[in-house]
Structure 1
Amino acid sequence: MAVVVAAPGMASAKDTAGAIPTRRLPKEELVNTHKTHLQKQDNSPNAPRPVKQPAMSGAYPASIKSIRDLEIIPLSELRAETHHRGKGIIVKAASPPFVGAGAVSIVEDEFGNADKLAIYNQADSSILSGVPEGCVVAVKEPYYKNNGAANDFMICVDHPSDVILLRFTDPIIPEPLRLGPLLKTADDWKNAADRAFIEKDFPTAVFCYTEALEASEDAAFKAPIHTKRAGVNLILGRYDSAKADAMASRSGGPQDWKAYYNAGRAAYGLCNYTESNTLLTTALDLNPTNTNIQKEHARCQARLREEETGDYDFPAMLASLSPHSVHLDRGSFLRNTRIAASAHHGRGLFATRDLRAGDVVFVEKATLMPNQYEPARASAALYALMVRQLCDNPSLAGAVLGLYGGAEYTERRSGGEGTTVDGVSVVDVFLVEGIRTKNCFSAPRSTLEDTRPSLPEGRLAKGLWVHASHMNHSCVANTMRSFLGDVLISRATRDIKEGEEIFQQYVPVQTLVDLRNKQFKDGWGFECGCALCVGEKRSPEAMLAKRKELLAAVEKLCNKKLPGRELIPDAKIRSVDRLAKQLEDAHEQDVYEGLPRLTLVYPCNWLVAAHRGRKNHGKVVKYCLKVLRNFGFKVPDETEVWDPREIYTNSGNATLMTVHVVAAIRTLAEAYEALGHKEMAERCIEAAEFGYTLVTGFKNDLATLDR
């Protein structure tokens, strides 16, 4: 048996927790080691930057105190594996930063003590994403941890709001660290900012424009500086700051059109189209012939029409998508729904009017979604974007931080998340990660493309749609969602009454009730109370075990695959048919009346494909009807006359809508056509096209569906 042996002179992190290290590496050794890392640093502007996602097991709250209310301590008083509550440190960067998943610098305090400072989760728009040498920072309630080797420690800053870049003239800076202003006049700072802007060093430009504003009392000087800083903040996507700067640049004259124009663009960037329209209208009144204002005003008007009417050109939206462009310029249509307390779990979405099957329930542009369709990176990309946007645009905090973050973090909330302290918004990265895992959706570039066989597997992005996140789960949901880039489309799969709660499937529904409820319990902390899950719990454990055994036998016999166009031997078809009948008999009539029978979906689909390959159209009809019945839809025997177009409205409230339902109806049309029942075939095509609209979000050619 292998054993782990501690290095000589090195105690475990657990043993040294709370103690002041007996020895720390001297500054010279720290700097020399740091230089070797800097030599290996990849400074390519296109190099992907890794993201440090937080482990919830090590969660700790962000500081909500001002640095001026904390006891400032020297680096020598930092204790290993300790969060120093009520205390803070002020240090100067004594080296350039090594930038990887975070930015690591060597820092020193006023007494000459040196240590490593690792800053994570800073937006690229912030200087703190790579603190320049000579800058002074304050770390609030620092976390000091062992870095994996003897005498090797570092100050670890996970929450971006726990570190503050101090202005050079800030009186809180100790005298030995005080450099005084690097530049003497406001004009000097303005010129430095202009140079940084030309060099596209936008974070430095913002910093220098800020120093110029602080160094001057002249309102006439400040107004154009606010205009310039507003422009840089627009480039950086810091729309809250851009709007504030734009409004601060007003002088009361006709040139104020630019202030309202920039403020309107910032409000547009935040998807606040009503406010944007008001600001742009004012800009247009002041400068009616300006084509840029006219263009932005017209664009804003288009978003307002979408919010009001829900009228979208979905085919044009699809055509505009590309691997490099998935963020659609569209408004969100939410008028058919409202957020209210739910009898199921916390809050939910409710219909504000009667909706018919097929109606658009809502259309929502993602609050946050990176253009990252590699599953291994998508979660980290969304987490990083959430943190950045909450730092850059604090006005998002109310909507995003109000979402459920998981039971494990509910009690840890301080209540100060999203508030402004020391000029920055408090961002708790562990809360953000909890919200991401409980509320994000996996989204293909388009759901239409996702039904095609040529789409590469695993091409899913992760996004956050705040309005949709309020929907509760049901395995037999009354809506279905689809995606076009960063736009989510929700359609009613059956009639919904005004005031009725609207449900969605959080994830594709697993066949077996025990497995799917374990998934819900582990992932979201609830047990599903939908009609299907409640009904299936009435079935004895022995019957559940029998269904599992029979399904496993079918899957083993068929190798978990559906037949193609090849001829399947009669003997194998008879064997699958026999097992399917046994499985059907294992579903109690009193339990499954009007409910889906999900364990029967795969064997019946297999039999559809097998008989289709033999052109046995009567059997295809029989088993297609069984597939529909096993998804909970009300269908007749194969000899009865019925109207497939009514399947979505006459089947009750426990149907499970999927693309497989559409495929079954389309195959049914093919079989009816071959049997000479042309009218039935046409009705099936209409029903399949309707269902395909539910699946893909808008009307599409059924020929695109994977056969």
Structure 2
Amino acid sequence: MAVAVSAPGLPVTADKAAADAPLTTKGLKPKRFTKEELLQTHQTYLKTQDDSPNAPRPVKQPILSEAYPASTKSIRDLEIIPLSELHPETHHRGKGIIVKAVSPPFVGAGAVSVVEDEFGNADKLAIYNQPDSSILSGVPEGCVIAVKEPYYKNNGAERDFIICVDHPSDVILLRFTDPIIPEPLRLGPLLKTAEDWKKAGDHAFIEKDFPTAVFCYTEAIEASEDDAFKAPIFTKRAGVNLILGRYDAAKSDALASRTGGPQDWKAYYNAGRAAYGLCSYAESNTLLSKALELNPSHDGIQKEHARCAARLREEETGSYDFPEMLASLAPNHVHLDRGSFLSNTRVGPSEHHGRGLFATRDIKAGEIVFVEKATLMPNQYDPSRASAALYALMVRQLCENPSLNSQVLGMHHGTYERSGLEGTVVDGVPVVDVFLLEAIRTTNCFSAPRSTVADTRATRVEGRMAKGLWVHAAAMNHSCVPNTMRSFVGDVLISRATRDIKAGDELFHQYVPVKSLPDVRAQQQREGWGFACDCDLCTTEKRCSEGGLARRKELLAAVEKLCNKKLPGRELIPDASIRAVDKLTKQLEEAHEASIYVEGVPRLTLIYPCNWLVGAHRGRKNHAKVVKYALKVLRNFGFRVPDESEVWDPRDLYSQSGNTALMSLHVVKALRRLGEAYEALGHKEMAERSLEAAELGYTMVTGFKNELAVMDR
């Protein structure tokens, strides 16, 4: 998918002088182009249309500040008006139009057609956000459609207007025999018999025109009263819907094809595959088991049944082969065939932000909290297109699979005002409000690398991020010092405990990596999600004086400028530079109020300079100083660690009583440097313990056990 930034509809047809003319006054009937003028201009753009079937289709992504609600009324409850009664810049509430397409569609971010009403009035109609499986994604010439509560707007120039349909449920493809169609628009059925429609569907299927095949099979079913004739048509339509990913419809059709005979194995087989596509593995298992009873030797049923059993085991045990999952990833293969392990957690009311996620049992530091396959995630690793791709996928899936509405529409939607009727089936389709979906997307989506393991490598490719929705994970509330950490393998999210968690404890994660300065952090949370964090760190830092905060800002900026915001590698840093940074770091330490930043409270502004000093002393092989500053890094993350002269066990780091420390990849790196320095100083046991702690931390960061050397590749 690509993001469309052009204005909706066809390019304007008037010259610059006309384009600069003022818009027609709202409420007055505008002077429009004639049907002949519209068709002539439309034809010029049809000649430029890209007919490449594999070309990415642009997306018109909604702007929330321009939101308007989807229609929740049936077309039969609206007053049908002629096109001549449309007023510019108006949402015609309580009204509807019925028109016939009199041109082929110009397909871009939407599908633009010239349409005509029963009185011969003509105008342009732009239909956006239709799934590719729908005929409405490119309305064929001659089809009759109804638009509910149409939005009529100026298209950029004088006399140039367009009917703009953003919500996919606001437009209905009418059957040719629908009595609501006015007589002048009636063509009658294009084919006379159910058999003719079946043959037309078969032909469309052979041509791989699957939306038309579904339409023709539907007409065949509606035209016949013979159940014996309709049963195989239901089977055909179920198969096409499976190809299109319309799993709800496929399951319904498959079950409707049953006759009570031994051939019903195919009905249960197709219904089981459809349920699997919806990740309803228990239901899929039941349906496939019935298919296996009727046809126990069928290889396809056996294979699907075994695959479903594997997903059920994952859901029950939380046992995954993560290295195999990682190895299977490719740029065009990130949707992993896995189940979700969620039984360690439950959603419940939270004292923080309405609802949250809670542990159902004790969970040790490093253990899996839950594993969740994405509800929705496109195969799109391009940050400039990731948001548009996820939005388009959300709209398409909620149109094609209405059962997802119960999962997605219950998610937090910010301040967007909803009707409460979203997802309700009206005129045979669920009400889909694209602005609500965009509000849900912006509030709940996660950015995800192809794998978190690869994202920790020194040679990682920057910017290769996708966006997705994980409905269960989205129920978790934010904390700047959370007790879980998430990672990704393809479209699978892995959550691990970063400290010991008791049954009943609320689970938290970071919405985004936290900023070191509390005022910057607060602004990020306020503007991004509209809340004020009340975690232990934020609550503590609210007591800081403005003068102290200003001083820390000043010193941090000085350190970053001196170091060019770059951590050293193995290069030899001059002693003078090290002394200068060390001096500023000590001043920064003193700028933290002792009465506020007690032991166990993170001091995030000190992490960068202490990390820099670890690298600088490592380059000079000053191992004692590496130990000193690596311990400071851990201490500044909130871990309770001793001075460099004391003996301690780094393996107990994550299970400390009252631990509210912040876990990060920098903690892993500090422990690793600590282990190297202990080894060089002859403290072998301490070195081993430090590296064991680093390995456990790296498991939290990457989601599963990996060699620390991966970070250097």
Q: TM-score range by the shorter chain?
A: over 0.9
Tell me, yes or no, if structure 1 residue 466 matches structure 2 residue 466. Answer: no
Q: 1:571 aligns with which of 559, 573, 576?
A: 576
Q: Secondary structure at the match of 1:92?
A: strand
Select which of 623, 626, 630 maps to 2:632: 626
1:17 Cα deviation (Å)? 2.8
Matched, 1:115 2:129: no
Q: 1:587 aligned to 2:592?
A: yes
1:308 aligns with 2:316: yes
Q: Is the 8 A contact 1:480 1:504 kept in 2?
A: yes
The question of whether the paired residues in 1 share the 8 Å contact of 2:109 and 2:128 is answered with yes
Matches within 5 A, 1:357-376: 357-376=365-384
For 1:660, the aligned partner's letter is H
Report how far residue 9 of structure 1 moved: 9.2
CA deviation string 1:477-519 (max 9, x = no partner): 0000000000000000001111110000000111111111111
Q: Which runs of 5+ in 1 are unaligned?
A: none
1:16 aligns to 2:2 (yes or no): no
Match of 2:642 among 636, 639, 642: 636
1:6–1:12 CA contact under 8 A, matched in 2: no
Q: Distance in 2 between matches of 1:65 and 1:678?
A: 74
1:199 deviates by 0.6
| CA distance in structure 2 between the aligned counterparts of 1:232 and 1:634, rounded to whole angstroms | 61
> Residue 479 of structure 1 is aligned with which of 453, 477, 484?
484
Preserved contact between residue 569 and residue 615 of structure 2 (Cα < 8 Å): yes
Q: Which amino acid aligns with 1:585?
A: E
Q: Which residue identity is paired with 2:585?
A: A
2:659 counterpart of 1:653: yes
* Matches of 2:212 and 2:43, distance apart in 1: 24
Instruction: Determine the C-alpha separation between the residues in 2 that align with 1:247 and 1:12.
Output: 58
Letter in 2 for 1:524: W
Q: Deviations over 1:686-707 (max 9, x none)?
A: 0000000000000001100148
Task: Give the match's secondary structure for 1:144.
Answer: strand
Matches of residues 520-559 of structure 1 in structure 2 within 5 Å? 520-559=525-564
2:523 aligns to what? 518
User: What is the SS of the residue equivalent to 1:91?
Assistant: strand
Aligned partner (choices 415, 418, 437) of residue 413 of structure 1: 418
Q: Which runs of 5+ in 2 are unaligned?
A: 1-14
Greater shift after overlay, 651-660 or 162-171? 651-660
Identity of aligned residues (%): 78
Q: Does structure 2 retain, via aligned residues, the 8 Å contact 1:634–1:651?
A: no
Q: Measure, in 1, the Cα distance between the counterparts of 2:29 and 2:634.
A: 68
Corresponding residue for residue 623 of structure 2: 617
Q: Distance in 2 between matches of 1:706 and 1:99?
A: 48
- Quote the residue 1:700 is aligned against: 706
Structure 1 contact 632–651 (Cα < 8 Å) conserved? no
Contact 1:7/1:150 (<8 A) preserved:
no
Counterpart Cα distance in 2 of 1:503 and 1:639: 35
| 1:622-643 CA-partner distances (Å, limit 9, x unpaired) | 0000001111111110000000
**Per the alignment, in what secondary structure is the counterpart of residue 496 of structure 2?**
strand
Give yes or no for the alignment of 1:295 onto 2:300: no
Tell me by how many angstroms 1:291 deviates.
1.0
Quick one: which amino acid aligns to residue 234 of structure 2? H
- Structure 2 distance, partners of 1:360, 1:18, is 61
Give TM-score scaled by structure 1 length. 0.98
Matched with 2:610 is 604
**CA displacement at 1:8 relative to structure 2:** 5.6
List per-residue Cα deviations over 1:237-277 (Å, max 9, x = no partner). 00000000000000011110110110000000000001001
| Match 1:684 to one of 687, 690, 704 | 690
Instruction: For residue 455 of structure 1, report the CA deviation from its aligned partner.
Output: 1.7
Per-residue CA deviation, residues 379-433 of structure 1 (Å, 9 max, x unaligned), is 10000000000000000001100001111x0xx2111100100000110000000
- Distance in 2 separating the partners of 1:103 and 1:628: 57
Partner of 2:45: 37
Letter in 2 for 1:29: E
Report if the CA contact (8 A) 2:21-2:157 is conserved. no
For the 8 Å contact 1:547–1:586, the answer to whether it is kept is yes
Matches within 5 A, 1:251-330: 251-330=259-338
How far apart are residue 566 of structure 1 and its match?
Answer: 1.5
Separation in 1, partners of 2:65, 2:659: 40
For 1:137, what is the secondary structure of its paired residue? strand
Q: Is the 8 A contact 2:639 2:659 kept in 1?
A: no
Name the amino acid aligned to 2:455: D
2:61 is matched with 53
Alignment of 1:49-448 (within 5 A): 49-407=57-415, 409=416, 412-448=417-453
Aligned-partner Cα distance in 1 for 2:442–2:194: 46
User: Counterpart of 2:3?
Assistant: none
Distance (whole Å) between structure 1 residues aligned to residue 218 and residue 20 of structure 2 = 46
SS for the counterpart of 1:482 is: strand
What is the aligned counterpart of 1:665 among 671, 693, 709? 671
Tell me if 1:509 matches 2:514.
yes
Shift of residue 12, structure 1, vs aligned partner? 4.1
Letter in 2 for 1:546: R
1:499 and 2:504 matched: yes
Q: Is the 8 A contact 1:478 1:653 kept in 2?
A: no
Q: Distance in 2 between matches of 1:11 and 1:421?
A: 41
Q: CA–CA distance in 1 between the matches of 2:413 and 2:50? A: 36
Write the distance in 1 (CA, Å) between the matches of 2:595 and 2:368. 35
The answer to whether the Cα contact below 8 Å between 1:27 and 1:113 also exists between their aligned partners in 2 is yes
Mean Cα deviation higher: 44-53 or 464-473: 44-53
Structure 1 CA distance, aligned partners of 2:42 and 2:642?
75
Q: How far did 1:16 drift? A: 2.3
Question: Structure 2-normalised TM-score?
Answer: 0.97
1:637-687 Cα offsets, whole Å, 9 max, x none, are: 000000000000116332111111000100110001111111100001100
> Moved runs in structure 1, 4+ residues, more than 3 A?
5-13
State the secondary structure of the residue aligned to 2:537: helix
**For the residues of structure 2 that align with 1:87 and 1:119, how far apart are their CA atoms?**
18
How far apart, CA to CA, are the structure 2 residues paired with 1:9 and 1:100?
22
Separation in structure 1 between the aligned mates of residue 136 and residue 559 of structure 2, nearest angstrom = 59
Confirm or deny: 8 A CA contact 1:598 1:631 kept in the other structure: yes
Paired residue for 2:12?
A: none
Matched residues in 1 for 2:575 and 2:325: separation? 48
Q: Report the AA paired with residue 443 of structure 1.
A: A
Name the CA distance, whole Å, in 2 between partners of 1:9 and 1:474: 52
Q: CA RMSD, aligned part only?
A: 1.2
Give the superposition deviation at 1:138: 0.2
Question: Shift of residue 564 of structure 1?
Answer: 2.0
Q: 2:5 maps to which residue?
A: none
